[in-house]
Structure formats: C-alpha cells, structure tokens
Structure 1
Amino acid sequence: MINDNMLSNLHVNSNFFLDFTPEDLYMMSNEKKLISILNKVLENMDKQKIFAIKSKWNRNVQIGKSKNIVLSYEEKKYLENKQKITMCIDPDWMPLEKNENGKHIGMSSDYIKLLQEKINIPIEMVDTKTWLESIEYAKQRKCDIYSLVMPTPERKLYMDFTKPYLQIPLVLVTRNDEIFYSDVALIKNKKIGIVKGYAYGEILQVKYPTLNLIEVNSLKEGLNKVEKNELFGFIGTLATAGYHIQKSYIGQLKITGKFEEKWSLGIGTRNDEPLLVSIFEKAIDAIEPEKHQEILNKWISVNFEKPSDYSFLLKILGFLGVVFLLLLYRQSQLKKYNEQLQKLSTTDSLTKVYNRLKLDEILEYEKKNFQRYYRPFCVVLLDIDDFKDINDKFGHSVGDSFLVELAELLNKNKRNTDSLGRWGGEEFLIILPECDIEGAHKVAQKLKNTIEDHIFKIVGHKTASFGIAQIREGEDINTLFDRVDNALYTSKQQGKNRVTIDL
C-alpha cells in the first residue's frame, strides 16, 4: 500500500507475519461444515504456494533477504532460483529430532524454524525411515541440508558443514547394577553398542582402540540389548540417553560413564551447491543467545516439586552437597590411580615405551582399519647386533642402560604417528600406520644409520639389523610376524647392520 500510494514519508520499520485459519474469517457461527472444508484445504496446500502468495501481497517479503542476515548477490540469486530447500533428519533421535508421522519435531525442529525465518525460504523435510537411509539420500543428492550432523572424513566427500549450534556430551549407559567408570578406556573385552552410521563411532574407535564397539540399527535397539544383557553398554548423547531412560528404562538402566568428547552438531549441506553452507553459517550466527537457552529449557528440563518446608530442603541440599564433594574427591583419586594403572599395564618398566600387550592392541586395531578402509600399515622389527657382548663385557646394568638410551634414540627419530614398543629382550617393534613398504624402508634406513652413527654411553658404537613387512589382504597378525621375523633373520645372516624387506 505504501508503494501503490507513493507515501514517500512512510517506510517499513520491521516485518511480521500473521498465520490465519478459517475461524479468523468473518462467517456465521453455524457454518461449521464450511470451516471444516477450509481447514482441510489449507492443510493440503503446498508450502511453496502459500509462501508465493505471502510474497505477492507483502512486497517487503523477498526470498533470500532477511532483517537479521546480509546475503551476497550470489546467495540471494541462488535462493530465488531454489524456491525451497529439502532437508533430511534422523527420524528417531528424540529429544534432538524425530519424524513423527511426517512431521519434524524436537530441538532441531525449533532451530530449523528459526533458520527458515532468517533466510525467508521454505525448508521441507524429506521422509526417511532410518538415519542410514538419510545418509544414503545425502550421497544421492536427494536432500539439500541435514538438520543435525557431525563432520567425518567420509562425509566430507559429499557434504559441507557449518559451525556447530549444539554441543552435547557423550555418555555410557549400562544396567543399573554396574559401577561408575571414571575412565571408559579401562573397559576391555565388553560389547558396547553404537548406532550404525553415527559419526562418533569412527572417532571413538580411533581414540579408544580397546573398546569392542558393536553396531546397532537404532538407539532403542541398543538400549533394549543392554537391558536384556546382550550388550554390556551403549554409547549415546546425554540428551538422548537421559530422555529414553526417563521415558522407558527407569530402574533398569543408568548412565555410568562420561567421555571427554562432545558431540558437536551443525548443519550439513550438499557440497555440489557450495553457497548453501555460507548462507546457513550466517543464519546460525544470527540466532539470539536467549533462543538457544529457550530451546534447551523446552526440551531438556528438570522439574522439582515445590517443597512446603524450605529450611528442611536446604538442610538436605547441604548434606547432599557434602556427599557430592566427597564423591567428587573420591572419583578424582580413582581416576588418578586408574591412569597410573593404565600406564603401568601398557608400558615397559625399563625403557618406558609400549610393552608387548599394548603393541598387540595397536596391531589388532590397525588390522581392522586395513580390513575396513584398506589403509596400509607396516611393521619394522629391529634387533641389536651382538647385544650379548655388552652384558658379558660390561654387566647387565650397563646393558639395561643401553636399552633405555636406545629407546630414547628411536623415539626421537621415528615419525610422530608411529608406535614404538619393546617386543622382547633387545628387540624393538615399530608400527607404521598409513604407510606402504617404500615409506617403511626409508624410516628403517634412517633409524639404522642413526644407531650406527650414535656413540652410546660406556658401550660406544653399536649397530642393529632390521626386518620390514607390509600387511596383506586376508593375512592375520601371526603370519605378518612370521614374515617380518624372517626378514630380520635374513639381515642377520647376510652380515648384520642392514635392512631387509619381505615382499
């Protein structure tokens, strides 16, 4: 109306939208059938058509223009051509999100409504039944964005990622009769469930190679298996685990461990349309801090019954506070001692490098990594030439000091990504991840020359012989070690102080 009547002394200060229903129209109160018919018409109207009507009659509504964010010309043009944005979600991940009979609900739903207001373009959910189906849709470019997603190396092949707008701690859920674990790395040889396709599965497997992670199809399936004692535990977010325990498993399951990692979740966008990620970055930046708190309070809240005796409540809270502080101190001490025990159980007492037990764990992890992702790794086995002469000539204490000095020398000259350990006696093993046989040969040759040039305390110059082998498809660890051991034996037979490759 301002434009049509050329009222140049007036301007629009801000925009607001009114959603109406048939009851808002003036009609006779006895026209209930007409109201019902109009309701059905509105429910079945295409969202794009509704948005187009609003845009037509309110000229201040422009696709890609918002009072909160400033878009570039290319971003505005992209949204004008796009008309709508399709979105995939995790269909069963409450309270974070859910596909409930074709309707998007949960925390992410509230965020998506805010983001839709910021960019002024409809965002429509694509109907999927599982998270794995949503991921497949990502690869097939059937969805433009993903409401809550965490970046992984594999996903970066087909997605871009905004900064996270939700950060939620990871927790361990077990049966009610289990103890609290201050350090989840101490849990060994127990089956722990994770949802197949979730990003933290890959991340935790790398950081905690001793965890026996078992993939399940959904959070509910994982918790049910824990309840039936088919799994020792299940890893999920504090929000989702707490929600489902309160809803379905009170008295059966509890949270018994917490990871240092947090699940940082943002918007995932298809990377063949790169403007999407910059648009949603700006939209996320424009969300007011109080909106974050409002959504958090709505979906993750604790209600207390109002007590009639506040002084009694304060006494209880004071007592619980003291108990909590004592438990906190006890847990910190337990964590400290557990860390010391963990170090003692994985470290060679003399040289302070990994012991054979820890090396076995790393080898098993690298083998699984190779089987799953075809990432090569090599092993280097080295043995000090004529080590017996040191003990015979100088005594065992000098021999021990020599091994300590040798371990320090190897540690300084290996790659940062390599794992060094004492295999036994004067033999040391180096595991080289993401390395082929040529790369391993260069590393071994460098270490051989370093040892040869080094002047050891009391002993002087010494040499070492090396064997190298690369994992082969279908090969187990024992066979790999037979080959690297034969390569080391060949080095010894051919005059020592050399590197032999098993091809």
Structure 2
Amino acid sequence: MKQLNQSLEARITELLDDPTQQDNPLREPLGSLWANHQDLARRIDRISHISDAYQSMAKLQEQSLTERLNKQLRQLEKVARISDRYQNMMRDLNEALREASTHDSLTGLANRRLLVERLKKETERFIRYQRPFSIAMLDVDHFKSINDQYGHELGDSALTEIARVLDAEIREQDLCGRWGGEEFLILMPETRADAAAQVLERVRGAIQRLAIRAQTDSVSITISAGIAEHQPGESYSETINQADHALLVAKRGGRNQLSTARTSLTD
C-alpha cells in the first residue's frame, strides 16, 4: 500500500510538472486537489506529532504519579512499622509497669499490694459463699545473723532461693508473696488450717534442704511459719494477726517449725 501511494504521488507530481499538460483541463483541478491533499497530510502529520507528544507527556505524568504514589506507600509502610514498634514498646512498658506495681523486684513474688488485693477478694468471697481460706506467715530464722556474718548480698541470694522454693512447692491456686523484709505470706483459697499445715510442712522441709554457698562455707536456712484459718466475722487483717501470733509461737518453740492459730491460742 505504501509503495502504491508513493507510485501514485510520483505519477501526479510528474503529470503536474509535465509542460505538455499545460492545456489539459484536468491539470488545474488536479493541482488544487493535490495541494489540498498535501496540506491535509501535513496537518495529519502535525496532529500525529502532537498526539505522540501528548501520549509521551501523559505516560511521563503517569509514571511520575506512580512513582509519587509508590513513594507515599513506602512512607506509609515505614510509619506503620514505626507505629507497630511503638505500640509493642508501650505494651511491654505497660506490662513492666504492671509487673513492677504488683511484684517484688528482688524475688519476683507478689508484693504486699497484690497480696492485700487478693486477701480482700477472698474475704468478700468468704462472706458471700462461705468458702474457706487460710493464711500462712513465714519468717526466715536468724536472718539478721546471716546478713551480719556474710553480707547483704548473700542475704538477698538467700531470699531469692527461698522465693524459688516457695513458688515451686505451693499449689497452683495459692498465692505467695513477700510481705516485707524476710517475711513471706501465703494465701491459700479453699483451704482449711489442717490442709494448709500439710502444704507448709512440705515447704519448710524443702527450704531446710537449701544450702547457700558463701565462698567456702555452706549456709543452711530454715523458716518458721504461723497458720490461721479465716473465721466468720473476722477481717483479713485479724486473720493475719492470728497467723502472726502463731508465727511468734513457732519461733518461741525453737524455730524451724509450724504453728496454727488454734493451737497457739492455748499456749
């Protein structure tokens, strides 16, 4: 087709340039038609160039828009990752703060605040449903002597080891915490005094078998414990006082032993 067009154009040009065709009546309209054709071809060619340029510009703009969108997406992804890390950090921080507010920093056991919260709940449950619970107060025997002879660092190690044993020996439903200094409290839900004494005897024996290394020495540790079962009409503070009194009886009886509030009141 292209060759045919070129041949036709050549024949028309040749015809118009032929001087022998000056008198041909078709020469003038053919020349006018040929001029219009060339003008139209130039316009079409110009339109084609403009169209090509527009398409190129549109393509560049599209590419530019795509690049901008991709860049914004990358920025959003980066912000999302930062947000995720920030949220994880805040969650870990909140968990650490919650842990710090309810657990002892040295032993990792429940602190006094958490113990009191649970004691209040158990007391309320006792009032509503008459479900028994017992409290045990534990104290490390001769702890001051250990600190004085071997230093507070070994004393802290002893408390940490005792806490480990307590956490391992108590039952799943029990809550053990550091009440203060070398004194620990164990809250035992659904437990009467005689069952609590069995748990505490196991705990006492396990702690007695502990041996804390102090350079070339091996330091033995024992505990004394007082147990009290919560009674109708008592507050949890009164039950703690009963357990404290039983603990005092155990210490006066020679230490490394248990005493319950029922037997201590008759001593």
Residue in structure 2 matched with residue 436 of structure 1 by the alignment: 192
Aligned mates of 1:326, 1:368 — CA distance in 2: 45
1:499 aligned residue: 258
Which residue is equivalent to 2:221? 462
Shift of 1:347: 1.4
Q: 1:331 to 1:502 in 2, by over 3 A?
A: same
Match of 2:51 in 1: none
Deviations 1:303-339 (A, max 9, x none): xxxxxxxxxxx9xxx79x7677765544332212100
Q: Following TM superposition, by how much is the alpha carbon of 1:456 offset from its aligned partner in structure 2, in angstroms? A: 2.6
In structure 2, relative to structure 1, the CA distance for the partners of 1:499 and 1:325 (3 Å cut) is same
The answer on 1:380 being equivalent to 2:139 is no
Q: Give the aligned partner of residue 12 of structure 2.
A: none
Instruction: Tell me the amino acid that sits aligned with residue 256 of structure 2.
Output: N
Match of 1:332 in 2: 88
In the alignment, the residues of structure 2 paired with residue 497 and residue 437 of structure 1 have an alpha-carbon distance, to the nearest angstrom, of 18
Residue in 2 that maps onto 1:352: 108
1:104-503 equivalences under 5 Å are 328-458=84-214, 459-503=218-262
SS of structure 2 residue aligned to 1:456: strand
| In 1, Cα distance between equivalents of 2:238 and 2:101 | 26
Per the normalisation by structure 1, the TM-score is 0.35
Equivalent residue of 2:202, what SS? helix
User: Higher strand share goes to which structure?
Assistant: 1
Contact 1:402 1:457 in 2 (8 A): no
How far the C-alpha of 1:383 sits from its partner, in A, is 0.6
Code of the residue aligned with 1:463 in structure 2: it is: T
Tell me, what secondary structure is at the counterpart of 2:220? coil
Distance 1:451 1:324 in 2: 51
What is the rounded CA distance, in whole Å, between the counterparts of 1:474 and 1:390 in structure 2? 40
Consecutive aligned runs of 4 or more in structure 1 exceeding 4 Å deviation = 321-329
Q: What SS class does the counterpart of residue 219 from structure 2 fall into?
A: coil
Gaps of 5+ in 1: 1-313
TM-score (norm 2): 0.65
The runs of 5 or more residues in structure 2 that have no matched partner are 1-68, 263-267
- 1:231-273 CA distances to partner (integer Å, 9 max, x unpaired)? xxxxxxxxxxxxxxxxxxxxxxxxxxxxxxxxxxxxxxxxxxx
CA distance in 1, matches of 2:213, 2:192: 35
Shift of 1:493: 1.2
SS of 1:358's equivalent?
Answer: helix
Q: CA deviation at 1:429?
A: 0.8
Q: Secondary structure at the match of 2:179?
A: strand
Distance 2:89 2:222 in 1: 45
Looking at CA atoms only, which structure, 1 or 2, has the larger radius of gyration?
A: 2
In 2, Cα distance between the equivalents of 1:324 and 1:366? 44
Q: What secondary structure is seen at the aligned counterpart in 2 of 1:468?
A: strand
One-letter identity of the residue aligned with 1:352: G
| 1:453 to partner: Cα distance | 2.7
Secondary structure in structure 2 of the residue aligned to 1:430: strand
Cα RMSD for the two superposed structures:
2.5
Residue 455 of structure 1: CA displacement?
2.3
Greater RCO, CA 8 A, separation 6+: 2
Matched AA of 1:414: I
Change in Cα spacing, 1:331 to 1:372, as seen in structure 2 (3 Å) is: farther
Deviation at 1:407, TM superposition (A): 0.9
Percent of residue pairs bearing the same amino acid type: 38
In structure 2, how many angstroms separate the alpha carbons of the residues matched to 1:339 and 1:324?
Answer: 22
Counterpart of 1:182 in structure 2 is none
**Cα displacement string for residues 78-106 of structure 1 (whole angstroms, at most 9, x for unaligned residues):** xxxxxxxxxxxxxxxxxxxxxxxxxxxxx
Cα deviations across residues 350-375 of structure 1 (Å, max 9, x unaligned)? 11111111111111121122222222
**Distance in structure 2 (CA, Å) of the matches to 1:411 and 1:429:** 12
In structure 2, C-alpha distance between the alignment counterparts of 1:416 and 1:427, rounded to whole Å: 21
Give per-residue Cα distances to partners, 1:19-44, cap 9 Å, x unaligned.
xxxxxxxxxxxxxxxxxxxxxxxxxx
Q: Using the alignment, how far apart are the partners of 1:482 and 1:340 within structure 2?
A: 32
Structure 1 or 2: more helix by fraction: 2
